[in-house]
Structure 1
């Protein structure tokens, strides 16, 4: 039986690491309503749209004012958006950092202004910004584990295929860094695989298609494409078809995110395997804000458990995909 998204998210949150003292963080008064900032990175793909809707729906349900901005894929604009929220004196800020280094200074600015920040879905370089000191906690998936799961599934199901093209996410983004590390480590441990080329497709469908076309021309013997997200995987499917190859058969396609379109492609045999990265952050994000105001302490990470979609499970899981 399919459970409501809120129940899925809250039930699958795992506390990771030592609970932090958080004495350096701004206090948050317990109130009936809050004015909260949400600085989205961009809105050019289904995952981001689903995340935004979840945040907006939960804010509306609770009667909170959500100050929403869209950086349009610009790290500089996201920094400016957060500074605008600080100037508006919001009670708290939810931030998915587009890149893991440039957003650290503005998180510190929010703290100095007395505004607690909760990171969601993407993290900040821990050498530059600390949970419990600069921000409350990070809510999100274990990106390294996601990549590792893809690599381990491939090792068991490659059926002799071994030459890989890797389509990386946005350079400097924590999901791209970690999904690469998890996957690369897993296939190295398995042995017998070669990464012929690895290049950023910026988490974009069209750029993923363009990069896949170029790399397939340079490496016509490639028989596996691993994309760091669904959008690039779907672009790679188009590139394979344009090259006269059958995606899912001539060349295996592997992905992370779990959007409905990609899961349908698993059902159809065009994509071989997808690990979910659930975008429905609204319930757990606002519950974390309420708990923080109530004095609850958090670890440096609250990790969400993600399902996966294989040829054996995709049809049954399709209705639950975003």
Structure 2
């Protein structure tokens, strides 16, 4: 058996330590993306039950087709468990990158981590995951989306300036545990707390759905007949709330102000009609920004942790003029 000097052993240990450190650093980073002429790309959509989601999906499909990329598309139909399974299926199919619109913040963490473990970078679209459990630049590449807190703030700021004595608010929340519901509530509620004389008399989830929003609005209007504002986290619930207001024998836009977020064509049309008071847009056209970000990463550019989509705002002053531009 050869004899090893103390120096040889120290050098070997140092090299092993360096290799271990390098491996640890690599494991802590988002997997790289090779520059190629074409890609096989996954898009894990959360659901397709409203115009916003349909517009987002159409934008992603159109951009992939324009670039000549193969798009593996799945629809989780509102199930976080199915969406995790969808991502695992994409991993098994060997996609190069995964665009993920997470149904909820916590349940999709295993999907993000599984993709990372298998060397596939993930780009989050429109909703994020729990920042305590996964981080941009480490576990996934980036989040592309709107500033949901700012959206809620903008709705509240408009109300404070244009309330005309209407101060008792019913809030229709989005899907429990989702980042837009959490943040749109936070932004709106905190801004309203700072305004004098306003109060949120009831707040309940309508799950971002039109009929659920209608049902919840009906029940809350019965419990709080003095409410004169409804703030909905999305257009679908706001449109459902119009039916609830009318069923209560009241006039939307006159007896009860309705505020919304999303900015679909139907809702912007209702602003023009005066039934919805104001809508904060949440831009669903993700295709160009998503694939541009992917290309930048493949070129070796440093990607910011949050790529912001810019949003418009609609009220009586511009709804008719902007209607043709709404999705």
Shift of 1:177: 0.2
What secondary structure is seen at the aligned counterpart in 2 of 1:297? coil
The counterpart of 1:135, out of the listed 123, 132, 140, is: 140
Q: Distance in 1 between the 2:262 and 2:89 partners? A: 30
* Counterparts of 1:191 and 1:141, CA distance in 2: 28
One of 198, 204, 217 as aligned partner of 2:203: 198
Q: State the Cα distance separating 1:22 from its structure 2 match.
A: 10
Deviates more, 1:41-50 or 1:295-304: 295-304
1:24 CA drift (Å): 1.1
> How far 1:240 moved relative to its partner?
0.6
Q: Which has the higher contact order (CA 8 A, sep 6+)?
A: 1
Q: Is 1:319 aligned to 2:324, yes or no?
A: yes
Give 1:32's match in structure 2, choosing from 27, 34, 37: 37
**Which residue pairs with 1:162 in the alignment?**
167
- SS of 1:61's equivalent in the other structure is helix
User: What does residue range 202-241 of structure 1 map to in structure 2 within 5 Å?
Assistant: 202-241=207-246
Within 2, Cα distance between the matches of 1:130 and 1:83?
20
| Distance of 1:285 and 1:39 partners within structure 2 | 13
- Distance in 1 (CA, whole Å) between partners of 2:156 and 2:40 is 42
Q: How far has the Cα of 1:305 moved from its partner?
A: 1.5
Residue pair 1:22, 1:136 contacting (<8 A) in 2 also: no
Q: Distance in 1 between matches of 2:240 and 2:214?
A: 4
Are 2:150 and 1:145 aligned? yes
CA distance in 2, matches of 1:112, 1:297: 21
- Contact preservation (8 Å) 1:233, 1:254: yes
Which consecutive residues of structure 1, in runs of 5 or more, have no partner in the other structure? 1-20
User: Residue 59 of structure 2 aligns with which residue?
Assistant: 54
Deviation of 1:113 after TM superposition, in Å, equals 0.0
Match of residue 11 from structure 1: none
Shift of 1:27: 1.1
| 3-state secondary structure, aligned to 2:239 | helix
Q: Secondary structure at the match of 2:131?
A: coil
CA distance in 2, matches of 1:288, 1:53: 18
TM-score by length of 1: 0.93
Alpha-carbon distance, 1:317 to partner: 0.9
Is the 2:28–2:139 contact (alpha carbons within 8 Å) kept by the matching residues of 1?
no
Calculate the aligned-residue CA RMSD, in Å: 1.1
The alignment partner of 1:135 has SS state of coil
Q: CA deviation at 1:292?
A: 0.5
2:126 aligned with 1:121: yes
CA distance in 2, matches of 1:295, 1:190: 46
1:282 partnered with 2:287: yes
Please give the alpha-carbon distance, in whole angstroms, between the structure 2 residues aligned to 1:294 and 1:216.
54
CA offsets 1:44-94 (integer angstroms, 9 cap, x no match):
000000000000000001000000000000010001000100111100000
Q: 2:307 — aligned with what?
A: 302
Contact residue 146 and residue 309 of structure 2 kept, 8 A: yes
Aligned to 1:92: 97
Deviation at 1:304, TM superposition (A): 1.5
Deviation string for 1:242-274 (max 9, x for gaps)?
Answer: 111100110000000000000000000000000
- Check conservation: 2:230, 2:257, Cα contact below 8 A: yes
Deviation at 1:23, TM superposition (A): 7.0
SS at match of 1:238: helix
Conserved? CA contact 2:280–2:311, under 8 Å? yes
Q: Which 4+ runs in 1 deviate beyond 6 A?
A: none
2:4 maps to none
* 2:136 match: secondary structure: coil
CA distance in 2 between counterparts of 1:58 and 1:305 reads 19
